[in-house]
Amino acid sequence: MIEFKPLAITENEACLIDLLSENQVEVKKVPVEENRAFSLALYDGNQYIGGITANKWMNATHISLLALSKSYRHQGYGTQLLKKAETFAKQEGATLITINTQDYQAKTFYEKQGYHVFGQLADTPFVGTTKYYLVKQI
């Protein structure tokens, strides 16, 4: 009997990745690579002040999160975090990096780091703001 059931997100994602991987091998004849995660935190003494997370899969790395405490912004720490993620991506064989940001967040910062907008969605995730999708070839 076919039925819908709740499933923990991590378990469901693992099953979905297996299904998608099988399809990729069957349709594209391209072997599947394991996802590689990157996570780096920045501390001032014992105080957490920011960090970055990213995931590399196949030839692409996506930066999931990057943030700094307000008093530590505009001091080069964001650039350093981003460069460390880019180094990780290169070492893992990625040829591009993607990231998304809001119009009120860090679009200009990413553009100064060589990222280019390839898409945008108005009124996302709420009315009056725009989400930007950026990419950088590495």
Give the residue-averaged pLDDT of 85-101.
98
Q: Is residue 64 part of a domain?
A: yes
Q: State which residues form the domain around 95.
A: 34-137
Residue 116 in domain: yes
In a domain, 78, yes or no: yes
pLDDT for res 69: 98
Query: In whole angstroms, what is the distance from residue 54 CA to residue 100 CA?
Result: 12
Number of domains observed in the structure of the chain = 1
Per-residue pLDDT band for 30 (boundaries 50, 70, 90) equals confident
Is 27 part of a structural domain of the chain?
no
pLDDT score for 17: 86
**Alpha helices by DSSP H, the chain:** 9-28, 77-91, 107-112
Please choose, from the candidates 93, 75, 97, the residue with its C-alpha nearest in 3D space to the C-alpha of residue 85.
97
Model pTM score: 0.85
Can you give the CATH number for the domain in which 88 is found? 3.40.630.30
In the chain, the percentage of residues whose pLDDT exceeds 90 is 86
